[in-house]
């Protein structure tokens, strides 16, 4: 199938799915939706869900009252009903209503597990942002809760729903154009690590900092913590590996049909930027060893990218050609000459004009909007069929836990052989202990419930 026919067929299929959802939603009962985490990506996810189906957003939750009110006003202006959602400062109060069909979770990483588990136990299907958790056993508890309750859980690794990457998979990988594949690289050379060293201050009055910190260690508040630079600290996430590698590793795993890596090793640290308050690595490499091949990760938040055209990317090497993939494009180059295959991001501002407004007001990434919509369509379709979505919680768990274990390997200075059946590191009790972070009291780690 050539690219023009592929795009036409994909668009027709997506339209059919969207129409089916719109028809179902036009019945007696619209899906009732709640959002936990009303910042940048929470709004991006929710607005794209509203773009593809006339859901009723009934509840919003955030510990930042300014973000909460701003989001409530925005959603009221976009809803067909024009109703302003109920607002909550505690997700437990929101979920206690037990009246939500879908819950979206877009909190900082350290607040993914507990709300997701509570939401499925309250009877909701869940769309949770990546990574699934901040430690391996927390992530495993999320998987267990989804399976025990039978709820559909989609993880926000939306590369699996990115139109041009789906095209690359079908045109190149599934068509066998790569030949035998035995190696892949994933990387990020964005200068995205926080550079500042601001003083600690009292938290602003509109932020419930005690609840924001939740099960994480209590750090003094400073401007890096909220609303977006919290990724500067390992207390709340897993650095650039947990933020950016999880996307690219998951993308390559999906493209090639890979499961768990059998061995993980990593090295790195703070080699250049010693002045920032950030405590995440500025330089790191990791090796994920699968039975079929190895995937190598590199990030550097300083200097130049080796290839400026592909600063955040996955590259798959086959004996018949090489496939480069990122959020904007793909490129397949046959070995020894032949036809090069390429594809680009799908921008749909003509069909979804609010994307332009949302880019200006809420930092929506135009090149990602179609991927979010595709991910939401897949999520709704899985709910309707009670099936597993493309980024099912198991797939999110594998990619997230693998990246978390890369940091464990870096900290310990040795490779880890992971046993997914027992969720332990083979022959390494110290490393196994690090698969679970201590929770700040009175919060209880979900693996202990």
Contact 192, 240 (CB under 8 A): yes
List the structure tokens of 384: 């309707």
Handedness of CA 427, 431, 436, 440 (dihedral sign): positive
pLDDT score for 27:
55
**266 and 184 co-located in one domain:** yes
Q: What is the pLDDT of residue 4?
A: 44
Nearest to residue 31, comparing CAs of 391, 387, 392, 384?
Answer: 384
| 123 in the same domain as 188 | no
165 and 299 both lie in a single domain: yes
Cα–Cα dist 145/113, whole Å: 10
pLDDT value at position 146? 98
Report pTM.
0.94
| Cβ atoms of residues 272 and 304 within 8 Å | no
Distance from the Cα of residue 339 to its chain's centroid: 34
Q: How far apart are the C-alpha atoms of 25 and 308, rounded to whole Å? A: 45
39 and 183, same domain (yes or no): no
pLDDT tens by residue, 90-145: 999 999 999 999 999 999 999 999 999 999 999 999 999 999 999 999 999 999 99
**Of the residues 359, 385, 411, which one is the last residue of a structural domain?**
385
User: What six digits make up the tokens of 25?
Assistant: 């939603």
Looking at the fold, whether 164 and 82 belong to one and the same domain comes out as no
Q: Are 130 and 116 in contact (CB under 8 A)?
A: no
Contact 109, 237 (CB under 8 A): yes
Going 420 to 436 to 312 to 299, the CA torsion angle's sign is: negative
Q: Distance between CA 184 and CA 316 in Å, rounded? A: 4
Q: Does 326 fall in a domain?
A: yes
**Residue 233, in any domain of the structure:** yes
Same domain, 88 and 224: no
Residue 81: its H or E element = none
Looking at the structure of the chain, the number of domains it has is: 2
| pLDDT tens digit at each of 449 positions of the chain | 444 444 444 544 444 444 445 445 445 589 999 999 999 999 999 999 999 999 999 999 999 999 999 999 999 999 999 999 999 999 999 999 999 999 999 999 999 999 999 999 999 999 999 999 999 999 999 999 999 999 999 999 999 999 999 999 999 999 999 999 999 999 999 999 999 999 999 999 999 999 999 999 999 999 999 988 999 999 999 999 999 999 999 999 999 999 999 999 999 999 999 999 999 999 999 999 999 899 999 999 999 999 999 999 999 999 999 999 999 999 999 999 889 999 999 999 999 999 999 999 999 999 999 999 999 999 999 999 999 999 999 999 999 999 999 999 999 999 999 999 999 999 999 999 999 999 999 999 999 97
Which domain, by its residues, includes 168? Answer: 160-349+393-448
In terms of Cα–Cα distance, which of 364, 384, 393 is closest to 128? 393
Question: What are 169-202's pLDDT values in tens digits?
Answer: 999 999 999 999 999 999 999 999 999 999 999 9
């Amino acid at each position: 199938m050539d690219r023009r026919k592929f795009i036409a067929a994909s668009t027709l299929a997506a339209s059919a799915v969207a129409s089916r959802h719109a028809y179902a939603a036009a019945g007696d009962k619209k899906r009732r939706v709640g959002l936990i985490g009303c910042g940048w990506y929470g709004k991006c996810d929710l607005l794209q869900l509203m773009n593809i189906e006339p859901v009723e957003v009934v509840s919003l939750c955030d510990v930042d009252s300014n973000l909460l009110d701003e989001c409530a006003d925005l959603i009221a202006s976009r809803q067909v009903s024009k109703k302003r959602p109920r607002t909550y400062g505690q997700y437990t109060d929101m979920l206690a209503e037990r009246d939500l069909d879908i819950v979206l979770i877009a909190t900082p990483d350290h607040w993914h597990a507990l709300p997701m588990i509570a939401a499925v136990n309250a009877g909701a299907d869940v769309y949770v942002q990546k990574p699934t958790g901040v430690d391996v056993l927390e992530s495993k508890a999320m998987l267990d809760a989804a399976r025990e309750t039978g709820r559909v859980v989609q993880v926000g690794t939306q590369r699996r729903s990115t139109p041009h990457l789906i095209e690359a998979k079908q045109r190149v990988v599934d068509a066998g154009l790569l030949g035998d594949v035995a190696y892949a690289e994933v990387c990020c050379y964005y200068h995205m690590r926080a550079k500042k060293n601001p003083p600690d201050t009292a938290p602003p009055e509109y932020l419930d900092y005690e609840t924001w910190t939740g099960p994480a260690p209590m750090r003094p508040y400073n401007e890096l913590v909220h609303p977006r630079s919290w990724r500067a600290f390992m207390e709340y996430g897993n650095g650039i590996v947990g933020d950016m590698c999880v996307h690219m590793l998951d993308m390559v795993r999906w493209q090639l049909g890979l499961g768990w890596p059998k061995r993980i090793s990593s090295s790195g640290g703070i080699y250049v930027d010693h002045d920032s308050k950030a405590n995440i690595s500025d330089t790191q490499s990791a090796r994920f060893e699968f039975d079929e091949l190895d995937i190598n990760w590199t990030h550097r938040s300083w200097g130049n990218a080796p290839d400026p055209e592909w600063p955040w990317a996955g590259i798959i090497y086959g004996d018949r050609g090489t496939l480069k993939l990122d959020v904007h494009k793909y490129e397949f180059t046959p070995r020894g000459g032949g036809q090069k295959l390429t594809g680009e991001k799908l921008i749909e501002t003509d069909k979804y004009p609010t994307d332009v407004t949302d880019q200006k007001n809420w930092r929506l990434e135009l090149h990602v909007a179609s991927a979010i919509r595709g991910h939401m369509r897949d999520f709704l379709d899985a709910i309707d069929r009670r099936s597993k979505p493309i980024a099912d919680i198991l797939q999110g768990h594998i990619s997230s836990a693998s990246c978390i274990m890369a940091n464990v390997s870096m900290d310990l200075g040795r490779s880890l052989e992971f046993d997914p059946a027992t969720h332990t590191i083979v022959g390494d009790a110290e490393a196994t202990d690090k698969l679970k972070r201590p929770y700040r009291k009175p919060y209880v780690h979900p693996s202990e419930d």
